[in-house]
Structure 1
C-alpha cells in the first residue's frame, strides 16, 4: 500500500511564480488600492508596457492557475490565492523602497524602478531582516501602506486633495507615478506629514490653492489628485 501523500511535499513541488506572474498580480492589486476602478487588460498593458495580446495570454494563464479571475471583455480580479501572492510582492517592493531611502540615502523619486528589480532578486529572509532593521514600518516613503507578513494593512482614512473641502489637512500619501512631480513637491515642502490648509478649488481653471504655513502654493489638478490628505485634527 503506497504511503499517504504529505501535503507539505506537494506544496514544495509547486513551481514558484515567475517574475512576470508576480508583476501581474501586484499590478492588478495596486490598480485598485486607491481607486475603485475596474482592472482591464488595456489598463494592464499600459501599466506593464506590453501589448494587449501578451496581456491576454498571461491573464489566461494566471486564471488557469487559479490566481486571477477574468470573464471575456470583463474586469480582471484576484482570487484569494492571487491576493496573497500580490500582497507579498507589494510588501517586498515597499520594504525595499523604504530601505533604499532610509539606509542607502536614495531620494523618494529614485526608488521605484530600483525596487522593481530588487523585489524579485531578494529572498524572504532578506525581506524580513530589512523589516526588522527598519523597525517594521507600516508605510513606505510615499505613504503607501506596507502589508504585514500576514497580509494585514494599516490604510489611512485619506482623500485626494482635489476632492477635499477647504480647511486644515495633513499629507498622508503621495503617488510615486511621476518622479518629476515628487521632486517638485519636495522642493516646495509638500511632503509626508506636512500640514497644509486647502483654501479653494478652482474647477474652472483646474487648480487648487493651498497654504503651507504662511506660503501660498497653487497646484494643478494632476498634482492635487496625486496627494492624499487626512484630517489635521
Structure 2
C-alpha cells in the first residue's frame, strides 16, 4: 500500500464514522475500524494533521478539515460508485462488493469513474443505501432513524443497511430486509429480547446487531 492510498483510506474511514451518527472518532476507534495497531494510527494521524487534512486533540477527537473532507468525499464517491457498478453490471451480491471496491477505488481514473456514473444513470445511492456524493462533493443523507432507536409503531421504508458484516447482509436478504422494504416496529421483547417487526407485513424478530445496522425513513 503506497502513501497516497493510505491517506485516502484514513480520511474515508474518518468520514464514514460520523456520516450516520454524531460521535467523533478517536484514535482508538479509528485503529479498531482499520484493524491497525494504535501506535501506527497515532503516527499517521500526526502526519494527516501536518498535511492539513485533520485536526486532532491528543487522545481525543479527530476531525477532517475542509481539505480532508473534500478528499474523503472524492474517495467515498469512488467507492460507492464502484460498488453500485459491480452489483448492477457484473451481478455481484451486495455482500461481496466492499473488498473489491477497496482495491478498485484507488486504480480507476476520474474519466472512467465519470463514464461509470453516466452508464448507471448518475445513481445517488449505493447498494446499501449510502449516498453517493456528486462530482462537486455535495452529498445528501435521507431523513432517517436507526431501527434500534425507533419507537413502537414506527413505520418506514429501509433507507440504509450497514455493510460492515457480510454474513448479516446475507441473512437480512434471506428475510427480505432490503432497501425500500417497508418495516413496522411492533415491540421490543421484554428483558433485552429481540425487536419484533413486520417486514412488508411479515413478522420477524431482529437481534440487537441487526437492529443497529438498519435505518428507516423517519
> How far apart are the structure 2 equivalents of 1:220 and 1:97?
27
1:151-193 Cα offsets, whole Å, 9 max, x none, are: 1112100111111122322111000010000001000101000
> How far apart are the structure 2 equivalents of 1:222 and 1:191?
16
Contact 2:181 2:200 in 1 (8 A): no
Contact 2:197 2:204 in 1 (8 A): yes
Residue 111 of structure 1 pairs with residue 97 of structure 2: yes
Please give the secondary structure, in 2, of the residue aligned with 1:159: strand
> How far apart are the structure 1 equivalents of 2:192 and 2:51?
48
Aligned residue number for residue 193 of structure 2:
206
Aligned residue number for residue 30 of structure 1:
16
Aligned residue number for residue 154 of structure 2:
167
Residue 40 of structure 1 pairs with residue 26 of structure 2: yes
- TM-score, normalized by length of structure 1? 0.89
Contact 1:143 1:174 in 2 (8 A): yes
- Identify which of 134, 142, 145 aligns with 2:131: 145
Unaligned runs of 5+ residues in structure 2 are none
Aligned residue number for residue 9 of structure 1:
none
Aligned residue number for residue 80 of structure 1:
66
Aligned residue number for residue 3 of structure 1:
none
> How far apart are the structure 2 equivalents of 1:168 and 1:53?
45
Q: Which 10-residue stretch deviates more, 175-184 or 192-201?
A: 192-201
Residue 68 of structure 1 pairs with residue 58 of structure 2: no
Contact 1:167 1:197 in 2 (8 A): yes
1:76-117 Cα offsets, whole Å, 9 max, x none, are: 110100000000000000000000000010000000011011
Please give the secondary structure, in 2, of the residue aligned with 1:32: helix
1:92-151 Cα offsets, whole Å, 9 max, x none, are: 000000000000100000000110111011111111111111111110000000000111
> How far apart are the structure 1 equivalents of 2:157 and 2:188?
17
Residue 120 of structure 1 pairs with residue 106 of structure 2: yes
> How far apart are the structure 1 equivalents of 2:73 and 2:3?
14
1:114 to 1:203, Cα distance in 2 relative to 1, 3 A: farther
> How far apart are the structure 1 equivalents of 2:112 and 2:193?
45
Contact 2:125 2:132 in 1 (8 A): yes
Aligned residue number for residue 210 of structure 2:
223
- TM-score, normalized by length of structure 2? 0.95
> How far apart are the structure 1 equivalents of 2:59 and 2:29?
13
> How far apart are the structure 2 equivalents of 1:92 and 1:51?
27
Structure 1 residue runs of 4+, over 6 Å off?
Answer: none
